[in-house]
Amino acid sequence: MKVEEFIDPYLGKSWGELGARILTSGKRISVTLGYPALGYTQQLSRQLAQFLNSDDVELDVQFSAPAGPGFEQVKHIIAVASGKGGVGKSTTAVNLALALDAEGAKVGLLDADIYGPSQGMMLGVAGGKRPVVKDGKYFEPIRAHGLKAMSMSFMVNDDTPMVWRGPMASGALQQILTQTLWQDLDYLIVDMPPGTGDIQLTLSQKVPVSGAVIVTTPQDIALLDAVKGIEMFAKVDIPVLGLIENMSVHRCAECGHESHLFGQGGGKTIADRLQVPLLAELPLDRSIREQADGGMPSVRAAPDSAISAIYRDAARHLTARLWGAEQTGPAISMADD
C-alpha cells in the first residue's frame, strides 16, 4: 500500500486523487492537506498506520487552503445561514470560526445580521469598543479569541435599533465587508441573518462565496425553512457544504436519559433527500448557550469537551468539502529512502 492510496476520511477519495502533497523519509510521513486538521493528527496517524499495516508511522499533518474564489487576500468566504431565527445559527457560526482557528487556519468572522448583530457579545468584545479607521475609509477588524471580527454591533450602541429599509442594510453589509482590512485569511465565516432576503442576495451578488452551511433544529417547521435556505443557495449557484442540526437530543444531567424534545432524525432525512452532508448533530445543552452569552463560546471555554469536538469535526468536514471540490491534480510525492 502507498500513502497516496490512503482514503481521506471526510471525502472518501484517496489523497492522490485530491492532490495532497506527501513527503516520506523512512518512517516519517509529512502530508499537506487542503483543510486544517491539527486536532485530527493522532487519529489520522492511527488510521494511516493501519492502512499501511505498520506500527511505526510518524505523521506530520500540514495545511494549505486551496485557492478559492475569495476577494483580495481572503481565500474562501463561507456563509452560515438558517431559514428561520432561533435555531442557534450565530452560536454555530462563532464556534465553527473558533474551531477552524483551533485546527490551524487563519480565520475571520463577519456578523452580517445588520438588524440583530450578536457576535460582539459572543466574542466578549467590550461594549463601546470601536474598530480603528485607517486612511479615512478602511476598518481594522477587532481581534477576539484569535479571530479577526467585524460586526455592526461594533458601530452602534447595544440599545440602538437599526430602523433601516432593505437597501440601506444591504449597503451597510457591503461596506463593512469590502472596507474591512481582512488581510491574509484562509476562511471568512459570515454569520447571515435568518431568512432568504436582501442580505443573502447582496452577499451572493457582490462577493464570491465558496459555500454555505445551513443550521436547523429537528422541528418540522425549522426543517421546512432549512430546505428553503438550501434551495435559495442553489438558485444563486452557491454550493451547500452541509447541514448542522442543533438541539438534536437532550441528555439528563442526573440519569443520562436521552430525550428528543424537538423530534428525531429530521436533519438526516433532509440531508439525505437533498444530498448534502449532515455535518453535526449538537445536543440541547445549557452550557452552549451560557458560554456564548458569556463571551467565551464552547470551543474556547471547553476545548477538550465533547461539544467542542463536534464543532471541530464539523469544521474539518466542511472545509474538506471545499478542498474536494477543487481536485487540482495528482498528489506530489517525494521519498527519501
- 158, with CB counted inside 10 A (0-12, 13-18, 19+), is exposed
- CA dist 98 and 145 (Å) reads 8
- CA dist 277 and 271 (Å) reads 6
Residues 6+ apart with CB under 8 A from 170: 198, 199, 201, 202
| pLDDT tens-digit profile, the chain (337 residues) | 789 999 999 999 999 999 999 999 888 999 999 999 999 999 999 999 999 988 878 999 999 999 887 788 899 999 999 877 788 899 999 999 999 999 999 999 999 887 778 899 999 998 778 889 998 889 999 999 999 999 887 876 655 555 556 567 677 778 888 899 999 999 999 998 876 667 777 777 778 899 999 998 887 777 788 888 888 888 888 999 999 999 887 776 767 666 766 667 777 888 888 888 999 999 988 899 999 999 999 999 999 999 999 999 999 999 999 999 875 444 434 445 4
In one letter, which amino acid is 113? Answer: D
74-303 is a CATH 3.40.50.1000 domain: no
Domains of the chain by residue range = 3-64+326-336, 74-303
- Greatest pairwise CA separation for the chain in angstroms: 68
Confirm if 244 and 214 have CB atoms less than 8 A apart. yes
- CA dist 4 and 333 (Å) reads 8
The predicted model scores a pTM of: 0.90
What Å distances lie between residue 126 and 77, 111, 143, 150, 275, CA to CA? 26, 16, 12, 13, 42
- CA dist 214 and 235 (Å) reads 15
